[in-house]
Homo-oligomer: A and B are copies of this chain.
Amino acid sequence: MHLSRRIEPLYRELAAVLREELQRMSPGDYLPGELQLAARFAVNRHTLRRAVDELVLEGRLLRRQGKGTQVLAKPLIYPVEAGSAYSQSLSALGHRVEARLIERIRRPGSGEECRHLQLADGSELLELATLRLLDGQPMSLIRHRFCASLAPLLADYQGGSLRQYLGQRDLPLARTFSLIGARLPSREEAAHLLMPRHVPLLSVLTLSRDPAGRAVELAQSSSRADRFQYQVAT
């Protein structure tokens, strides 16, 4: 049925055409519907979808069921000072920083978590999950874990800088070490961060201590690697 032996599969040729056309579109624009595009290229809708899959995987398009497929902006990279608090270094650069609390749960800690926090194995932890936005764009997810005894102190936290919140309540924190890795996002993480599945997350595990040296917070931040770099000064 195929007219000639193509060197490239059809869906990849389509992807190349679309990729080229995207450059003449503006971020935020919507692609024509799938049926419409499939008709234009005279291919089956599945073949067109497969082509669009490629561009979604490359981070160029965002698909939303019921709405359409949108052209994404080319990402900027924000270098973040690894040593300082999350919000400070960026807002100092004139960026608008937001932190939204998206989850607050109590649960028993894993062995490793309790070890880091110097708690007895299986101690109850308070976990807060926050979504960080930079200039309105979702950038990072952070899971903060505290000993559950700190729950009263954190009861009023609803968003904004967590470091500042704790500092105002006489619990200033300082980082003691960080473990930096990278991985692909889970489906939930990708959904929260409005990002494609294939773009890596830069993942940083940090342990923070109070002035007396007690381990207080174990935080796991996961940031879009296409928008973030961590800078470590020595």
Interface 0/1 of A144-176, CB less than 8 Å to B: 000000000000000000000000000000011
Q: With an 8 A cutoff between CB atoms, is A90 at the interface?
A: no
- Partner of A181 from the list B58, B197, B229 (CB cut-off 8 Å) is B229
Q: Is the CB of B234 within 8 A of A179?
A: no
Looking at the complex, which one of B183, B197, B231, B234 makes contact with A225 (CB distance below 8 Å)?
B183
Is the pair A232, B232 in contact by a Cβ cutoff of 8 Å?
yes
Tell me the complex Cα distance, A231–B201, Å.
17
The answer to whether A232 touches B183 (Cβ under 8 A) is: no
A15 CB to closest chain B CB, in angstroms? 10
CB distance from A170 to the nearest CB of B (A): 22
- CB atoms of A58 and B229 under 8 A apart: no
CA distance A198 to B183 in the complex (A): 10
| Cβ A184 vs Cβ B202 within 8 A | no
Number of interface residues of A (CB under 8 A): 33
B-binding segment of A75-83, A104-112, A126-134: A75-83
Which residues of B sit under 8 angstroms from A187, Cβ to Cβ? 12
* Cross-chain contact of A234 among B176, B182, B198 (Cβ < 8 A): B176
Residues of B within 8 A of A181 (CB): 77, 202, 225, 228-230
Q: Which residue of B is nearest A225, CB measured? A: B182
Q: Could you say which residues of chain B place their CB within 8 Å of the CB of A178? A: 231-232, 234
29 A-B residue contacts at CB 8 Å?
A12-B187, A57-B184, A57-B197, A57-B198, A58-B184, A59-B184, A79-B179, A82-B232, A83-B234, A175-B234, A177-B231, A177-B234, A178-B231, A179-B229, A180-B180, A180-B202, A180-B231, A181-B225, A181-B228, A181-B229, A181-B230, A182-B200, A182-B201, A182-B202, A182-B225, A183-B200, A184-B198, A200-B200, A232-B232
Binding site for B on A (CB under 8 A): 12, 57-59, 77, 79, 82-83, 175-184, 187, 197-198, 200-202, 225-226, 228-234
